[in-house]
Structure 1
Amino acid sequence: MKRFALTALLLAHLQLFSIVKAEDVPNAKYLTFQAVIAIAKEQSPKYRYASVLFENRQWQYKTFRSNFFPQLNFSGTIPDYNKTIEPRLTDSGSLIFINTHNANSTMQLSLGQEIWPTGGYISVNSQLKRIDDFQASTNKTRYSSVPATITLTQPLFGYNYRAWDRKISPLRYEEAKRDYREEMEVIAQEATNHFFNLLLSQISYQIADKNVTNNDTLYKIALRRFDEGTIPENELLQMELTLLNSRQTLEQSILDVEANTLRLKVFLGITDDYPIQLIPPSEIPVFEVDEKIALEQAHKNRQQVISFKRELLEAEMRMAKAKGETGFTANLFASFGLTQQALEIQESYSNPSEQQRVRLGFNIPVMDWGRTDAVIGTAKANHTLVKANVELQKINFDQEIYLHVKRFKVLRKQMEGAKRADEIADKRYQITKARYLDGKIGILDLNVATEERDKASRSYISSLRSFWQAYYTLRSLTLYDFETGMPLTVDNSAE
């Protein structure tokens, strides 16, 4: 009676689950592995973050480039109104207070250009000033003009930031482009992990569902045989326990499918409520990977290679900065132009007078208690440290490529072996099941065959996951597509 009640309860659960399954499958989204990778690279939150970050670096590079082009500016003050009491110094040296009431207006047009080889700045300026004195009885308005003036500001023997920026900023931008390409392959790796997590849970659900059906049938057969007296009660109890365990496994697999579906949707940025049904990848890319080609392409394409150059240049820049800002420095300012003042605007531009100005300033450290030596010594030590670190990174860089190529080849062979093992385990299970139904073997042999079949199926999916993760890791480490024999490039829409 207890067995009958347990069987009825089990059938009721299976019937309920079959109703849910029948309702969900027709509305399911069927996604292949490549479709999941494409969605991840086109709409996932991580893709959007990487795209925005790359766009930000593009604007930084455009800002850098704009520094080497002339800048035209128009500025002014209209007006600077002033009505107050101000102190004034008389000829006798005494201080008096007078009322002031005036307005000053200024307009200036300037065209400037940085001189990056020397770190200087040259500009051409034109200026017009107007003064309105509201207290004067006559000639309340006067004009002062500077039709044209050329100004040069030139640091001497100092640190030239712009020259170093011209060397380093293009490397940073090239790093950004390569980093974006690598990030796309990292996204593919994460998508691979989420895809196979869900696929494995769906395969586990299918196995569990099949096991429940099989175990239910076998339990009914065992129950009939027990009633006939052909099997002991121990075997019947074992079959009942197997049925209960398979049902619990089925319930857990349903939960795993729901959880992994949610994780995959969140990663891909899918917001609808439709279930997802994955289609396992049936085609495996066939291509040879040579260690020398992988290393060669990695040295050509990877972001880290550019990073090595940039780190060394930045170390040299910091050393140049330490020397340029602690030793003898000088600054030259020179200006030559024309100027005039008059009561009318037109007259302020007539017969202008020359305007000249030259200033040379310098700084010589006389006694700094070893500060200069300490700053330069620190910069040199950091430069040596960066060189040593870069050399170590280069060694690790080559080792990582070499070892991953070897691992990729091993994983391909393991995947082929796991596929064959899955086929063998399934065939062995079918044979064992038939022999059990014929009464030639016991339940323990059938359980062993079932476990080995389930294990082989999961192992094959896991080996597929490892292969595809290694595949996209290889692409990210080399930025090279070994199938087509072409380097990976940034999508035009991103650039």
Structure 2
Amino acid sequence: MRKILLLVVCLLMPAALVAQEDNDSTGYERDITLSEAIALARVQSVDAAVALNELKTAYWEYRTFRANLLPEVNFTGQLPNYNKSYSSYQNSDGSYTFVRNNTLGLSGELSIDQNIWLTGGKLSLTSSLDYVSQLGRGSYHQFMSVPVSLELTQPIFGVNTLKWDRRIEPVRYAEAKAKFISATEEVTMTTITYFFNLLLAKENLATARQNKENADRLYQVALAKRERGQISKNDLLQLKLNALQGQADVTAAESNLNAQMFQLRSFLGVSEQENLNPVLPEKVPEVDIHYDDVLGKALERNSFAQNIRRRQLEADYQVATAKGNMRSINLFASVGFTGQNKDLRPSYQNLLDNQIVQVGFTIPLLDWGKRRGQVQVAKSNRELEMSRIKQEQMNFNQNIFLLVANFNNQAQQLGIAEEADKIAEQRYNTSVQTFMIGRISTLDLNDAQNSKDEARQKHISELYYYWYYFYQIRSLTLWDFEQNRELEADFEAVVR
């Protein structure tokens, strides 16, 4: 009779646990693979949105730079300029009087401006018209036209900002594009972390429930054995403690599962009504990766390479700017024609020369070495930046070497962990059966259970590290070693 009751309890307990799980769950359950989670994260995650906005900012900065090299059409004017006021006027005898102004003025200028990147100057083709009308007593009006005028503004000896921009901005934009692809891979790495955290929490909960079920079953069997004197009271109490600990482990595992579920759902941007059920990846990409190949692709394609080049150019630009500030000479020249008349049409006839040449300069005669000091500071900063870049390059190469070594070792570690997981599971099942017939003690059974749990966790952890290292190498090289092709993106389509 006791054996029948024990059998009924063992059969009904799993069903009760499943019913309890269904009652506690909210929303609907959805299986999700690692590839599906990665695809969602690249579209819906906040990290992906941040990477996209950074790319858009860099794109429009580059577009602004390109626009500075193209002709620009501008219209400026004052429509109208009305002045009714008094102003002081000095007479020939030195006395002052106040005269009344009552004028209406209109002015407009149309210009086509072109920056000259080779010299750093600006060339403008302009056409302007001014009109002034004296109102009140003795009123009159006058037009003055400048039908065409060619103007040149040219700094001499100063730093050519446009020329430096032509060298720096393309590198900056290339860095931003490479950084966007790397950021996309980093989103994948974060997804892998959250996905395997949830997967491990799910496995821990399943393990805890299985252990609790076995602990309860073994405790019931132990009660029957105790009545027949086949087991000591100490072993019985140990099994009861195992059953209680099993219940506590289930509660803790459920809380951890809910926390990891919330973290992954929040990152992927999915509804809180979805209970994600992560599916253990059946296979991993089998690739053969070498350090020299990874380092070469990383130095060629990674944003770090563009970052180094940009910082070198910017340091050189700061030195050039400091040298250019030691003296300042600016040239302004204007060549054109002008005319004036009381009527509009005649003001464009009988034109006269309109030529202006100005050379302004600032040369410090005594500045106590301030400008030379600024040049030396810029040079020192450049040397400091070069030293930092050299150190960063060494660290970059070292990190890639260690990463490739870890990845190549990880395939072997994963195979060992997978085999150990199977063996530990078989050992535990054998230990349970052996304990049922009284051949081993509770200590041996607990040891088999702990080994099984640790082997399962180790298997999932090694699987996580394999995927994480794989995508970390992708993020550094911007290269898909599984498909043997470069990682690209349609940046024009992405930013629109």
- Shared fold (TM-score greater than 0.5)? yes
Root mean square deviation, CA, Å: 1.9
SS in 1 for 2:325: helix
| TM-score, structure 1 normalization | 0.94
- Aligned runs of 1:369-448 on 2, under 5 Å? 369-448=368-447
**Distance (whole Å) between structure 2 residues aligned to residue 182 and residue 491 of structure 1:** 15
Task: Name the CA distance, whole Å, in 2 between partners of 1:329 and 1:265.
Answer: 60
Q: CA deviation at 1:108?
A: 1.0
Give the drift of 1:12.
9.5
Distance 1:26 1:437, change over 3 A: farther
Deviations 1:275-323 (A, max 9, x none): 1111011111011001111111111101111111111111111111111
Cα separation, partners in 2 of 1:221 and 1:470, compared to 1, 3 Å:
same
Tell me the alpha carbon deviations over residues 40-79 of structure 1, each in whole angstroms, 9 at most, x when there is no partner. Answer: 1111011011101110110000000000000001121111
Question: Is 1:230 matched with 2:230?
Answer: yes
Measure how far apart 1:32 and its partner are.
0.3
* Counterpart position of 2:64: 63
Shift of 1:392: 1.9
Q: How does 1:296-311 map to 2 (within 5 A)?
A: 296-311=296-311
Shift of 1:241: 0.3
Q: Once the 2 structures are TM-superposed, how far is the Cα of residue 329 of structure 1 from its aligned partner?
A: 2.9
Q: How does 1:47-62 map to 2 (within 5 A)?
A: 47-62=48-63
Query: Which one-letter code corresponds to 1:302 in the other structure?
Result: N
Aligned match of 1:453: 452
Are residues 1:37 and 2:19 paired? Answer: no
Match of 1:241 in 2: 241
Check whether the contact 1:50–1:183 (CA below 8 A) recurs between aligned residues: yes
Aligned to 2:106: 105
Matches within 5 A, 1:201-280: 201-280=201-280
How far off its partner does 1:335 sit? 0.5
Deviation at 1:94, TM superposition (A): 2.2
- Aligned with 2:123: secondary structure? strand
Q: Could you tell me how far 1:366 is from its partner in structure 2?
A: 1.8
- 3-state SS in 2 of match to 1:254: helix
Residue 188 in structure 1 maps to residue 188 in structure 2: yes
Task: After TM superposition, give the deviation of residue 83 of structure 1 in Å.
Answer: 1.4
CA distance in 2, matches of 1:86, 1:314: 52
> Which structure 2 residues correspond to residues 23-172 of structure 1 after superposition, within 5 A?
24=25, 27-139=28-140, 141-172=141-172
Deviates more, 1:251-260 or 1:229-238: 229-238
Q: Secondary structure at the match of 2:494?
A: coil
State how far apart, in whole Å, the 2-side matches of 1:16 and 1:103 are. Answer: 93
Map of 2:284 onto structure 1: 284
Q: Structure 2 CA distance, aligned partners of 1:164 and 1:456? A: 59
Report SS of the residue matched to 1:103: strand
The answer to whether the 8 Å contact 2:27/2:273 transfers is: no
Q: By how many angstroms is 1:391 displaced?
A: 1.9
Q: How does 1:454-493 map to 2 (within 5 A)?
A: 454-492=453-491, 493=493
- Superposition deviation, residue 358 in structure 1: 0.5
Counterpart CA distance in 2 for 1:107 and 1:471 is: 64
Give 1:364 deviation, angstroms. 2.1
Q: CA deviation at 1:363?
A: 2.2
Does structure 2 conserve the Cα–Cα contact (< 8 Å) formed by 1:180 and 1:490?
no
Cα separation, 1, equivalents of 2:131 and 2:26: 82
Task: Write the distance in 1 (CA, Å) between the matches of 2:115 and 2:264.
Answer: 52
- Give the corresponding residue for 1:315: 315
Shift of 1:25: 8.6
1:11-34 deviation per Cα after TM superposition (whole angstroms, max 9, x unaligned) = 999947733336749920210011
**What corresponds to 2:345 in structure 1?**
346
Q: CA deviation at 1:476?
A: 1.2
Deviation of the 1:456 alpha carbon: 0.5
Contact 2:74 2:112 in 1 (8 A): yes
Deviation at 1:90, TM superposition (A): 2.6
1:117 Cα deviation after fit:
1.1
Distance 1:284 1:347 in 2: 85
Specify the code of the residue in structure 2 equivalent to 1:315. Answer: A
> Displacement, 1:365?
2.0
User: Secondary structure of the equivalent of 2:372?
Assistant: helix
Cα offsets for 1:190-227 (capped at 9, x unmatched): 11111111110000000011111111111111111111
Q: Residues 62 and 26 of structure 1: is their aligned pair in 2 closer, same or farther, counting only changes over 3 Å?
A: closer
Report which stretch shifted further, 26-35 or 151-160.
26-35
Q: CA deviation at 1:138?
A: 4.6
Aligned mates of 2:119, 2:400 — CA distance in 1: 42
Query: 4+ residue stretches of structure 1 with deviation over 4 A?
Result: 11-14
Q: List gaps (5 residues or longer) in structure 2.
A: none
Kindly indicate whether the alpha-carbon contact (under 8 Å) linking 2:14 and 2:213 is maintained by their aligned counterparts in 1.
no
Distance 1:350 1:271 in 2: 76
8 Å CA contact 1:302, 1:479 repeated in 2: yes
Contact 1:105 / 1:129 at 8 angstroms: preserved in 2? yes
Query: What code does the residue aligned with 2:150 have?
Result: I
Greater alpha carbon shift after TM alignment, 223-232 vs 130-139: 130-139
User: Which deviations, in whole Å up to 9, do the C-alpha atoms of 1:219-269 show, x marking residues without a partner?
Assistant: 111111111221111111111100000100000000001011001111112
Which one-letter code corresponds to 1:43 in the other structure?
A: Q
Structure 1 gaps, min length 5:
none
Do the aligned residues in 2 keep the contact of 1:298 with 1:477 (CA within 8 Å)? yes
Contact 1:100 1:135 in 2 (8 A): no
Which TM-score applies when normalising by structure 2? 0.94
Question: Is the Cα–Cα contact under 8 Å of residues 151 and 334 in structure 2 kept in the other structure?
Answer: yes
Return the alpha-carbon distance in structure 1 between the equivalents of residues 135 and 485 of structure 2: 77
1:90-120 deviation per Cα after TM superposition (whole angstroms, max 9, x unaligned): 3333221122211111111000001111111
Other structure's SS at 2:274 match:
coil
Answer yes or no: is the 8 Å Cα contact 2:71–2:115 preserved in 1: yes
Q: How many residues align?
A: 485
In 2, are the aligned partners of 1:301 and 1:487 still within 8 Å (CA)? no
In structure 2, C-alpha distance between the alignment counterparts of 1:138 and 1:187, rounded to whole Å? 75
Q: Which amino acid counterpart does residue 447 of structure 2 have in structure 1?
A: V
